[in-house]
Amino acid sequence: MRSKIFFFLLTVFCPTIYSQENYPVDKIDSSLLANADAVIRHNSRIVEIEDVDKVVERTHRVITILNESGNSYVRALEHYNESIKIKEQEAIIYDKNGREIEKYKEKDFKDQSNFDSYILFAENRISFLDYTPREYPYTVEYRSEIESSNSVFISDWFPVEGYDISVENSSFQLINPEKIALRYEERNFDDAKVERQNSEYDLDYSLSGFQAYEYEILSPSFRSFAPQVLMAINDFNLEGVSGHATDWKQFGKWMHDNLVAGHDEISSQTISKISSLTKEAKTLEEKARIIYKYVQDNTRYVAVMYGIGGWEPAMASEVDELGYGDCKGLTNYTKALMKSQGIESYYSVVYGGEKRNIDPDFTKMQGDHVILNIPKEDGTDLWLECTSQRDPFNYLGDFTDDRYVLRLKPEGGEIIKTPEYSEVDNIQKINCDIQLNGIGGFQANFSRISKGVHYNEINQLQRKLEKEQKRYYKNEWGRLQNLQFNDIKFKDDREKIEIEEKLTFSGDRLATKAGNRFLIPLSFIQQGTIPISKNDKRRRPFEIKRGKTFEDSFTFILPEGFSIETLPENKLFVSEFGSIIFKVEASGSEEKNEIKVTRQLIFKKGEWSPESYLDFQNFIRQVNHTSNMKAVILNTSKT
Amino acid sequence: MIKFYIYLFLIFAGTSVHSQNYKFGKVSREELKSKEHSTDKDADAAILFKKQAIYYDFNQNTGFEMVTDVHERIKIYNKEGFDWATKEISIFTGQSDEHVQKIKAVTYNLVNGKIEEVKLDKDDIHEEQKNKFRKITRFTMPAITEGSVIEIEYRIVSPYITQIDPTPLQYTIPIDKLELDVTIPEFFVFSVYNNMKAPFYVNIERSKKGFQRTISKTVRTGWEVVKHERRTGTLDFIQNVYSVNKENIPALKTEPHVDHLQNYAAYLNWELQYTKFPNNPIENYSQTWEGVAKSIYNDVGLKTALDRTGFFEEDVDALITGISDPIQKTVKIFQLVKDKVKWNGYAGFVPDEGTRNTYKDGMGNAADINLLLAAMLRYAKVNANPVLLSTPDNGIPLFPTRNGFNYLITAVELPEGIILLDATDPTAGMNQLPKRARNWQGRIIRNEGSSDWVNVFPFNISETSSRMNVQISPEGINGLAYEDFNGLYAKKYREENSSKTKEDIQESLSGRHSNVDITDFNLKNFESVGSDINQNYKFKISNGVEVIGDKIYLKPLFFETLNENPFKADERIYPVFFDFPFRKKHLINIMVPEGYKVVSVPESIIVKLGEDGGEFKYSILLNGGFLRIDSQVEMSRAIFNNEEYEILKNFYNKIVEKQNETIVLEKTSNDGSSERTESGR
């Protein structure tokens, strides 16, 4: 009954929305213009679940773009494929006074395929408004209707779409005439004016007068603080496969049974090949290591996605034959090979890239990547990234570390966390002797050991051509001029997962000339600098996503005829964010013609309140100041 | 006798290694076994053989069509080379479609000493309709491992018979053997050119070959009684054959800061000169630059666009009443077009929307906008003409072809000189072309299609100059800066800050250096496009000096110091392009702080860049309580060829070295001990 009353209200209310037509820019409240590149004037999204396999979504979106950076917020576009059909699409462009400039009918929208360049083929296409703005601000009014059969993906409500965008009014309705059981969760409503008129089966939200967020460095992810409503229906459909789930256990079971189970058959030839390879191996880990190497040597990453192929792995036998697959196919293939040797392993869904969890508290289809979990009794599970031909065994790096994943077991889904690399694991350790010459240049013997998330960058570097390696170092160490490399070597320990770079190189400029003195920058190579801007009015919390340790030991050997004039003092600064220790001393047996510097910089993982930002700035200042400390040496032979 | 046999055997063995069999499927054990390329150890993959045949076929229903047959054999040495196992074939679709046919592809691997073949399955070939005009056929080869050899064969059939795409002769991996045959009926006369910027040219062998085909057709004859009659005839003509046969083609090496790498690859360019069909007159397409310009002028609507004035006459009349000076008229009309019309992002010398619609709707491509400008100027009795040119991504027009052009601007010729105008760019003043239009030469088309070259690459020096007055204390630095930008520096400034407010500009100025605070920012002439920009501001540097012991060390250019040499590589294969010739001047007055004296200053120097390339001047004077530093960097030209790279790099080294030398100040009071505690601040 309530929903009917609401409908009545809506029909009365609608004309007033539409009569505010043309949306002149001077009607925008000035408070919404601060920090904004775009303003959502009106955005109504109505999702109607006609059935578990028929969801209709109507959008009426009016957005004013204030400047060039705001163009990406026009979003007058629809993605479509075999199971999402565009029923209607049109747009009108207004100038800043609300005068109509141009009208786009359905056929005027540009149509093209739409998938990332690393994917060989996917069915996804996009139909978008291709409008070249002639002046700013301008306003786009957009209407669309789409119909999807995949009700597993009802999209959540995110009325504030990103940084630098304000919202005059944004509303959302879920209409659910079939009364399919619904779950939803509201988040981050504290600072937002949200009105709601929900009933048991229907949702109705609106947000108004929301000022744009300004980006702040080291911010936690946008979705962790933006207002949102997560939602899902308990009975759903994906490409003709129906399901029912209210929690992760059920959802994981559904995924396992319908998408993953029964995909792991492989030919007896391959099994016997694997069996003979692992014959000598004694422990589970040794066997798994051999199998992982086999997968790395015999497959590569290629993604092809038709229909349900976007969610279902290719058959293991097919991957075996073709020698390629996407993350799902390769993970499932590795799982099948493990199984053939009696090793139990699990297909695990994750978000790759920037840290993002599979939401432990809200069950719905999530994730964009798959990795393989091999449980061990002592709890130190093994984790395999099956799409890489180069990663060491049991190495996730910063692509999938420290986050919640959905592990699919035959008995159901489980949310577990991947291993974290802490400041004890993420280490770069430099040991370097620097022979200075009398004209500001130097010759260096350099060694650096990298572990944890740092391993990956150097692991990739070692495979590049020597010319590119030189380019990498020259760019990294730009302030050292005219570098000449005599030798570049790598020592890769894939079992311990640490890699050492050994270089000898020389450069024309290190010391700064000041008459017959030279200033020597004592942090020969500055590791771990964080560029932060001054911000005395920090609004939101800040975070350091991973702890890291940098340890340097530099020995400077003075040129003939020079002596140390001034050395800076030692320094120790400890804070909740980390610490810096800097020691400098004159050394070298009798002549004291050496300067020895040790430096240790630690960043700790954590999230802090905005009030702590001043302290953090101070910490960074201390670090930068320490990194810039110089010694003065004097040419005594001339005086 | 035995000796003789051995001798014979050796000869055979020797030749069998060297003579490869390039027939499809005849992949050898040696090819599969090889671990690295024989001459290029760094190669991740290599094209062992590529044959491309382009020829015309006669289809009874549709007439001539162009067929391209490709056969490639590719060796993959390591995992980095796996990308070469994926093939993309891009074709045109639209009014009529090109088609990809007869794809055949096989992967070969050596497994336990035996050659194993895995064929590409038809189901694993994917077709993507990228957009209305482009369709991509894409597949990746099965069973790829390090050491695999793949063979791919396919055919493209095209209805576009007057256009032959550039035929590649070089890739980013080496090619061991390349065969190209282009067979063209005598009716189509093409000219063919090597890319002059490529590291090598190929010899093109020319020969002739007959074409004979019996065709039969059903024809309706008779007046009153219609009869169907089958007639046969023979199609018989001569074909010109162009062949390239080349071995051991090196890989194209990538380098940073090259304008467009593909511009430096070896390829052949094909341009239709004329067609001559039996019983038809010769139809000319292009032969000379004069001819190309004329044909563009007449064919694609330049002439019409320039003559069409009705729709703007009133507006232009109103705008220029009472003005007789042609420069003043140009200023007004240029501004009008820039205000009224926005560029839609497309290059082109062919008007797309037409000048009338462009004016009405306020949007068009480069040709629309600049032809509209030229037409208006001509209507106002200003001597304006269109100029055809080639944007950097289109390469340099070396041969007389229409493809050599892809952009159009307007030139006004006055006794005082030429003014180049591009109204697609709102930040461009007169003679301030955007970067896309500053490529080598343009072809100006005057009355009735006669034409001539004009320079569009900037030769005049653009200048920035800054004056700073600075006060120093151990706590920090305070100063006042005045900066002027002229010419293309002013344009660049407007471009970079186009959508910013004054506050944004000040903020980004502050943001450039983490330790500099900027206040009291003033900006003059930003809006008046074409004129010099002036800005001034107060600044405060928090750690701009080193205080060590009782001495202060400072770099006198402060945040204007060039800290890094932009040229880091040891050598360079391709030329270096600066945006334009420039001069950067810094004049700094530093007040020596109370209680300090000057211990040492860097020596003054003058460094020349080659004979005529440029100059770096640096001098310091101590005058009473003031240090006056004068630094000038001048780059007299904008293009340096690769042989000049070393000189250029050393020149920059000198600038970096000198600008980084410090001035040393020392406390004059003898009480140095209390200052010691300050060390390390």
CA distance B596 to B672: 12
Find chain B residues with C-beta within 8 A of A111's C-beta.
Answer: 131-132
DSSP class of A314: P
CA distance B286 to A537: 66
Q: Identify whether residues A257 and A332 lie together within a single domain.
A: yes
pLDDT in tens, A249-300: 999 999 999 999 999 999 999 999 999 999 999 999 999 999 999 999 999 9
CB within 8 Å: B600 and A516: yes
What's the pLDDT at A12? 38
Fold of B7-212+240-275: Immunoglobulin-like (2.60.40)
Bridge partners of B241, per DSSP, are: B183, B207
Whole-angstrom distance between the N-terminal and C-terminal Cα of chain A?
99
Q: Identify whether residues A329 and A362 lie together within a single domain.
A: yes
Using the predicted structure, report yes or no on whether residue B128 has a pLDDT greater than 50: yes
Helices and strands counted in chain B (H then E): 12, 36
pLDDT in tens, A560-600: 889 998 899 999 999 999 999 999 999 877 677 899 999 99
What's the pLDDT at B396? 65
- Chosen domain end from A175, A205, A234: A234
| A513 within a domain of the structure (yes/no) | yes
Beta strand A562-566 with A548-557 is unpaired
Q: Identify whether residues A80 and A173 lie together within a single domain.
A: yes
**Which stretches within A299-386 are classed as H helix?**
316-322, 327-340
Find chain B residues with C-beta within 8 A of A515's C-beta.
Answer: 599-601, 664
Which of B386, B311, B378 is CA-nearest to residue B341? B311
CA distance B330 to B412: 8
Smallest Cα distance from A474 to chain B, Å: 7
Q: Which of B128, B549, B680 sits opposite A113 (nearest CB)?
A: B128
Whole-angstrom distance between the N-terminal and C-terminal Cα of chain B?
93
Find chain A residues with C-beta within 8 A of B680's C-beta.
Answer: 568-569, 571, 629
Choose the mutation target among B662, B663, B666, B667 for the interface with A, i.e. most A CBs under 10 Å: B662
CA distance A156 to A178: 20
CATH 1.20.1250.40 fits B462-667, yes or no: no
Q: What are phi and psi of B153, to 5 degrees?
A: -135, 135
Contact (CB, 8 A) for A558 and A436: yes
In B359-490, DSSP assigns E strands to: 363-364, 384-389, 407-414, 417-421, 441-445, 451-455, 462-473, 476-485
- Chosen domain end from A417, A440, A464: A417
Interface ipTM: 0.74
Q: How many CB pairs under 8 A join A and B?
A: 140
CA distance B94 to B92: 7
In A25-136, DSSP assigns E strands to: 38-51, 54-65, 77-80, 84-94, 100-104, 110-113, 119-122, 125-128
CA distance B409 to B368: 10
Find chain B residues with C-beta within 8 A of A571's C-beta.
Answer: 680
pLDDT in tens, B362-371: 888 899 999 9
Note whether A99 contacts B: Cβ–Cβ < 8 A: no
What's the pLDDT at A47? 96
Q: Which of A389, A482, A632 sits opposite B653 (nearest CB)?
A: A482
For chain A, the domain total comes to: 3
CATH number at residue A396: 3.10.620.30
CA distance A526 to A529: 7
DSSP secondary structure, B607-660, as one string: EEETTTTEEEEEEEEEETTEEEEEEEEEE--SEE-GGGHHHHHHHHHHHHHHHH
Sheet holding B175-185, edge to edge: B114-119, B99-111, B149-158, B63-76, B45-59, B175-185, B227-249, B205-221
Beta strand A369-374 with A382-384 is antiparallel
- Chosen domain end from A372, A395, A417: A417
Token couple for A434? 């620097």
Q: Identify whether residues A484 and A375 lie together within a single domain.
A: no
Q: In Å, what is the CA distance from A341 to each residue of A155, A299, B188, B222?
A: 41, 19, 67, 84
Q: Identify whether residues A323 and A351 lie together within a single domain.
A: yes
Q: What are phi and psi of A308, to 5 degrees?
A: -70, -15
Rg (CA), chain A: 30
Q: Which of A120, A134, A389 sits opposite B140 (nearest CB)?
A: A120
| A422 within a domain of the structure (yes/no) | no
Residues 282-311 of A with CB under 8 A from B: 297-298, 300, 302, 304
Q: Identify whether residues A254 and A193 lie together within a single domain.
A: no
CA distance A371 to B645: 49
What's the pLDDT at B631? 94
Amino acid letter, residue B418:
I
Token couple for B414? 């006055």
Q: What are phi and psi of A112, to 5 degrees?
A: -155, 160
CB within 8 Å: B680 and A629: yes
3-state secondary structure at position B148: coil
Q: Identify whether residues A541 and A447 lie together within a single domain.
A: yes
Using the predicted structure, report yes or no on whether residue B619 has a pLDDT greater than 60: yes
Find chain A residues with C-beta within 8 A of B118's C-beta.
Answer: 321
CA distance A377 to A366: 28
CA distance A570 to A597: 10
Whole-prediction pTM = 0.77
Contact (CB, 8 A) for B582 and B487: no
CATH number at residue A476: 2.60.120.1130
Residues 213-272 of A with CB under 8 A from B: none
Which of A65, A134, A74, A128 is CA-nearest to residue A101? A134
Choose the mutation target among A476, A566, A622 for the interface with B, i.e. most B CBs under 10 Å: A566
Neighbours of A275 (CB within 10 A): 12
Q: Burial-class residue B485 by CB neighbours within 10 Å (0-12, 13-18, 19+).
A: buried
A467 CB contacts (<8 Å, ≥6 apart)? Answer: none
Q: Exposure pattern of A589-611 as b/e (b: 16+ CB <10 Å)?
A: eeeebbbebebbbbbbbeebeee
Neighbours of B648 (CB within 10 A): 23
Which of A66, A73, A44 is CA-nearest to residue A208? A44
Sheet holding B614-623, edge to edge: B516-524, B533-541, B476-485, B462-473, B582-591, B626-635, B614-623, B605-609
Beta strand A548-557 with A427-436 is parallel
CA distance B664 to B676: 16
Q: Identify whether residues A84 and A125 lie together within a single domain.
A: yes
Note whether A630 contacts B: Cβ–Cβ < 8 A: yes
Q: Identify whether residues A451 and A493 lie together within a single domain.
A: yes
Neighbours of B502 (CB within 10 A): 13
Q: Identify whether residues A438 and A315 lie together within a single domain.
A: no
Closest-CA residue of chain A to B121: A322
Amino acid letter, residue A506:
S
CB within 8 Å: B661 and A514: yes
What's the pLDDT at A133? 83
Mean pLDDT of B246-256: 79
Which of A242, A52, A232, A75 is CA-nearest to residue A156? A232
Using the predicted structure, report yes or no on whether residue B258 has a pLDDT greater than 60: no
Closest-CA residue of chain A to B662: A514
pLDDT in tens, A211-244: 999 998 899 999 999 999 999 999 999 988 999 9
| A239 within a domain of the structure (yes/no) | no
pLDDT in tens, A483-538: 889 999 999 999 999 999 999 999 888 888 888 889 999 999 887 777 776 667 88
| Residue owning tokens 């009106």 | A42
Contact (CB, 8 A) for B585 and B463: yes
Neighbours of A355 (CB within 10 A): 16
Domain segments of chain B as ranges? 7-212+240-275, 289-455, 462-667
B331 CB contacts (<8 Å, ≥6 apart)? Answer: B430, B530
Mean pLDDT of A478-482: 75
DSSP secondary structure, B541-561, as one string: ESS-EEEETTEEEE-TTGGG-
CB within 8 Å: A632 and B599: no
Find chain B residues with C-beta within 8 A of A129's C-beta.
Answer: none
Beta strand A594-603 with A548-557 is antiparallel
CA distance B69 to B155: 5
CA distance B614 to B619: 17
Token couple for A330? 């390769």
Please give the helix or strand (H or E) that residue A461 lies within, else none: helix A454-461
Q: Specify the CATH number of the domain B289-455.
A: 3.10.620.30
Choose the mutation target among B79, B141, B339 for the interface with A, i.e. most A CBs under 10 Å: B79
DSSP class of B661: -
Token couple for B309? 């004035």
pLDDT in tens, A528-556: 777 776 667 888 999 999 999 999 999 99
pLDDT in tens, B564-603: 888 877 777 777 888 889 999 999 999 988 888 898 899 9
DSSP class of B81: G
Q: A232-246, B193-207, B302-316 — which one is most confidently predicted on average?
A: A232-246
Smallest Cα distance from A4 to chain B, Å: 44
Instruction: Write down the mean pLDDT value for chain B.
Output: 84
What's the pLDDT at A638? 57
Q: Identify whether residues A115 and A74 lie together within a single domain.
A: yes
Neighbours of B267 (CB within 10 A): 18
CATH number at residue A208: 2.60.40.3140
Which of B208, B191, B195, B194 is CA-nearest to residue B272? B191
pLDDT in tens, A132-168: 887 889 999 999 999 999 999 898 999 999 999 999 9
What's the pLDDT at B245? 93
Domain that holds residue A58: 2-234
Q: Identify whether residues A361 and A399 lie together within a single domain.
A: yes
Q: Which of B564, B570, B679 sits opposite A568 (nearest CB)?
A: B679
Amino acid letter, residue B105:
A
Amino acid letter, residue A524:
F
Smallest Cα distance from A463 to chain B, Å: 9
